[in-house]
């Protein structure tokens, strides 16, 4: 039987009309897949909020937070961290605990304003004195956007022990990862802020300072693997 040409044309029109929503659905599905892929492949944003980083503090950091007081732990919120500042305690042979006690004692003596977020001892122990979401009085003009690490040292040269250095690399790498910092630009000396000879050995020996930051970068690469 000969088909009515107008009915055939109608069927063709229907066939042409149908794929359109199907194509749209396919395109939408493809777009979703693409967006999902991009969101998975894009580098994860680091936890840049200091409060979140404080919550994630690893167990190898001993939290011995100072009693809140205006001289060493004023509880001023630290909104952003743009660098880690390294210091030496400048008092040869003293322990991390002794330096923490000095900061704690300022609450009573009120002799000066001083503190540090972290102190690393001669045996590599790491004490947190001021949470990383609070300002410590350590790095002058950069107190408001940095975290500070004070390191103990056995003698007048200010050189850190191998145990202290190992902990310093570990902690600095962890902080750089947590705050999304590059050790080339985001790890600085007190000297780089004020010109003060602190940390002394690493001001007098720039090659030792560069080696330290290279070790931090290496530790970050190893952590990423
Ligand atoms: Zn210093």
Ligand 1 center from residue 40 Cα (angstroms):
41
Query: What's the pLDDT score for residue 43?
Result: 45
Ligand 1 center from residue 185 Cα (angstroms):
18
Ligand 1 center from residue 20 Cα (angstroms):
69
Q: Given CA atoms 188, 192, 198, 203 in this order, what sign does their dihedral have? A: positive
188 versus 15: which is more confidently predicted?
A: 188
Ligand 1 center from residue 108 Cα (angstroms):
23
Q: Are 207 and 118 within one domain?
A: yes
Ligand 1 center from residue 198 Cα (angstroms):
5
Residues 6+ away with beta carbon under 8 Å from 197? 191, 203, 204
Query: What's the pLDDT score for residue 76?
Result: 97
Ligand 1 center from residue 86 Cα (angstroms):
7
Q: Are 192 and 134 within one domain?
A: yes
pLDDT at 137 over 90: yes
Ligand 1 center from residue 12 Cα (angstroms):
82
Q: Are 34 and 86 within one domain?
A: no
Residues in a beta bridge with 84: 147, 187
Q: Are 131 and 206 within one domain?
A: yes
Query: What's the pLDDT score for residue 102?
Result: 97
Residue-wise over 178-208: b if at least 16 C-beta within 10 A, else e?
Answer: bbebebeebbbbbbbbeebbbbbbbbeeeee
Range of the domain at 186: 50-224
How confident is residue 34, by pLDDT bands cut at 50, 70 and 90? Answer: low
Query: What is the tens place of the pLDDT at every residue in 169-224?
Result: 999 999 999 999 999 999 999 999 999 999 999 999 999 999 999 999 999 999 89
Q: What is the CATH number of the domain that holds 79?
A: 3.40.80.10
Query: What's the pLDDT score for residue 22?
Result: 72
Ligand 1 center from residue 169 Cα (angstroms):
17
Tell me how far the alpha carbon of residue 106 is from its chain's centroid: 28
Ligand 1 center from residue 157 Cα (angstroms):
15
Query: What's the pLDDT score for residue 44?
Result: 43
CB 114 within 8 A of CB 84: no
Q: How many other CB atoms are there within 10 angstroms of residue 145's CB atom?
A: 14
Q: What's the chain's average pLDDT?
A: 88
Q: Which helix (H) or strand (E) holds 54?
A: helix 50-55
pTM for the whole structure: 0.79
Q: Three-state DSSP class for 191?
A: helix
The mean pLDDT value for 100-105 works out to: 97
Q: Are 181 and 208 within one domain?
A: yes
Ligand 1 center from residue 139 Cα (angstroms):
7
For the chain, give the percent of residues with pLDDT over 90. Answer: 76
Count of domains for the chain: 2
18 versus 64: which is more confidently predicted?
A: 64
Q: Are 119 and 30 within one domain?
A: no
Q: Are 122 and 158 within one domain?
A: yes
Ligand 1 center from residue 11 Cα (angstroms):
84
Query: What's the pLDDT score for residue 29?
Result: 73
Length of the chain: 225
Q: Three-state DSSP class for 171?
A: helix
């Amino acid at each position: 039987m000969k088909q009515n040409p107008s009915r055939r044309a109608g069927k063709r029109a229907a066939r042409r009309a149908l794929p359109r929503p199907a194509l749209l659905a396919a395109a939408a599905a493809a777009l979703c897949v693409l967006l999902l892929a991009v969101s998975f492949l894009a580098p994860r944003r680091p936890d840049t909020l200091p409060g979140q980083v404080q919550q994630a503090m690893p167990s190898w950091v001993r939290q011995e937070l100072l009693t809140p007081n205006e001289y060493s732990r004023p509880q001023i919120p630290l909104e952003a961290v743009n660098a880690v500042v390294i210091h030496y305690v400048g008092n040869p042979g003293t322990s991390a605990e002794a330096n923490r006690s000095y900061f704690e004692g300022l609450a009573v003596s009120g002799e000066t304003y001083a503190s540090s977020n972290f102190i690393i001892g001669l045996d590599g122990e790491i004490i947190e004195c001021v949470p990383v979401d609070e300002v410590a009085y350590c790095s002058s003009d950069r107190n408001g956007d940095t975290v500070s690490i004070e390191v103990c040292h056995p003698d007048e040269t200010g050189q850190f022990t191998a145990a202290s250095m190992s902990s310093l690399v570990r902690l600095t790498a962890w902080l750089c990862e947590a705050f999304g910092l590059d050790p080339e630009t985001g790890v600085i000396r007190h000297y780089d802020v004020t010109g003060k000879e602190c940390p002394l050995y690493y001001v007098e020996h720039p090659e030792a300072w560069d080696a330290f930051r290279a070790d931090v970068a290496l530790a970050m690469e190893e952590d990423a693997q």
